[in-house]
Structures are given as C-alpha cells and as structure tokens.
Amino acid sequence: MRANALVEEADIVAVLTPIYKVSYTGILKTYLDLLPQKALVDKRIVPIAIGGSLGHLLAVDYALKPVLSVLGAAEILNTVYFLDRQIERLEADGYRIDEEAEQRLNVELLKLAPAKIIN
C-alpha cells in the first residue's frame, strides 16, 4: 500500500482528523489498523484535529494518542486543535486558517525544525 510506504519512509507523520462524537473518524481508525504493529517507531507525530466545539479538545489525548503509542510513537507533539469555524473554504479551491490557529500550528511545527548549532 502506497500510504504505508510513505509512512515507513517518513521521519515526521502528521495525523489530521475531524473529531466526531468525541473521537477520531472511523476511516482513520481503519487506516491505523492497516499499519504494521510498530509503524510509528522513530517517527515524530504531529496530531491535528478539527472539531465543532472546545468540548472535544481532549478527544485526541484520550482516544488517538494511546493508539499512536501502541504503534510505536514515542514522540507525539502537542495536539493542534482547530474549531471548524477557524477554517474558511475559499471559492478558488483552497482553505484559509484563522491567524490565531495558524500561529498555534506554527509553534508545534517549529519544534520539528533541526536544532541550530551555534559556534
């Protein structure tokens, strides 16, 4: 499966899911079930979730992160959680993320940048 090969080759894996009924989607669950048992060993994981209210903010911590850990993920960054109203669909095929939400995403993504060596 091509998707599994991409995960195998990656150093960083972004896991993006809408939150529905206080959990990640069934299609993501199905895909995670198809990954080899230790597919996420030595991978840095960036969980990103989109939900309708702040009431679902912890769904990733309680539902998704344990599954990622079982797959071998040892380094899971803080979840970046967007409210669905923070994402605007553009008329010309695309999306715009609210500035505050984009800043929170950038904080986590900067953690993935290689450390600078100062002489």
Per-residue model confidence as pLDDT tens digits over 53-78? 988 888 889 999 999 999 999 899 99
- How does the average pLDDT of the chain come out, rounded? 90
pLDDT of residue 27: 94
> Contacts for 81-89 with beta carbons within 8 Å, 24 or more apart?
81/48, 81/49, 81/50, 81/51, 81/56, 81/57, 82/48, 82/49, 82/50, 82/51, 83/50, 83/51, 83/52, 83/53, 83/54, 84/18, 84/50, 84/51, 84/52, 87/50
CA dist., res. 22 & res. 7, Å (int) = 26
**Neighbouring C-beta atoms of residue 17, cutoff 10 Å:** 20
Q: Is the pTM of this model over 0.85?
A: yes
Per-residue model confidence as pLDDT tens digits over 76-112? 999 999 999 999 999 988 999 999 999 999 999 998 8
**Neighbouring C-beta atoms of residue 97, cutoff 10 Å:** 14
